[in-house]
C-alpha cells in the first residue's frame, strides 16, 4: 500500500442545530475543529417525515397528469 494515499482521519466536534455537540471521526478539517450544521437529522424532513407536500411549480405536475391521463399500463 502506498504511503500518504488516504486523507487524515481524526476526531472533530459536530455542533447540531439544537446546540448539542457530538464528537466523531472525520476527514474534514483538522483535529479538534468544530463543524456547525445548518440542517441535521433531528430537524430535516427526510428523517422526521414532515413536510411531504408536492410542490407544483408553474402547473407542471397538473400539466403532466392531464397529458398522460388516458394512458393505462
List, for residues 20-60, the tens digit of each pLDDT value: 999 999 999 999 999 998 888 777 777 777 655 666 666 77
Phi/psi of residue 46, each to 5°? -65, -30
In a domain, 12, yes or no: yes
In a domain, 8, yes or no: yes
pTM (predicted TM-score) = 0.56
Domains: count for the chain: 1
What domain range includes position 30? 1-38
Which pLDDT score, from 0 to 100, does residue 67 have?
86
Count CB-CB contacts under 10 A for residue 36: 10
In a domain, 4, yes or no: yes
Q: What is the pLDDT of residues 50-67, one digit of tens each?
A: 655 666 666 777 788 888
Sign of CA dihedral 28, 41, 57, 61: positive
In three-state secondary structure terms, 4 is: coil
In a domain, 27, yes or no: yes
Amino acid at each position: 500500500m502506498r504511503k500518504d494515499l488516504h486523507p487524515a482521519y481524526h476526531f472533530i466536534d459536530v455542533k447540531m442545530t439544537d446546540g448539542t455537540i457530538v464528537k466523531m471521526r472525520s476527514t474534514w478539517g483538522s483535529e479538534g475543529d468544530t463543524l456547525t450544521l445548518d440542517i441535521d437529522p433531528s430537524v430535516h424532513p427526510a428523517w422526521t417525515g414532515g413536510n411531504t407536500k408536492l410542490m407544483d411549480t408553474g402547473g407542471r405536475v397538473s400539466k403532466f397528469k392531464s397529458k398522460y391521463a388516458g394512458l393505462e399500463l
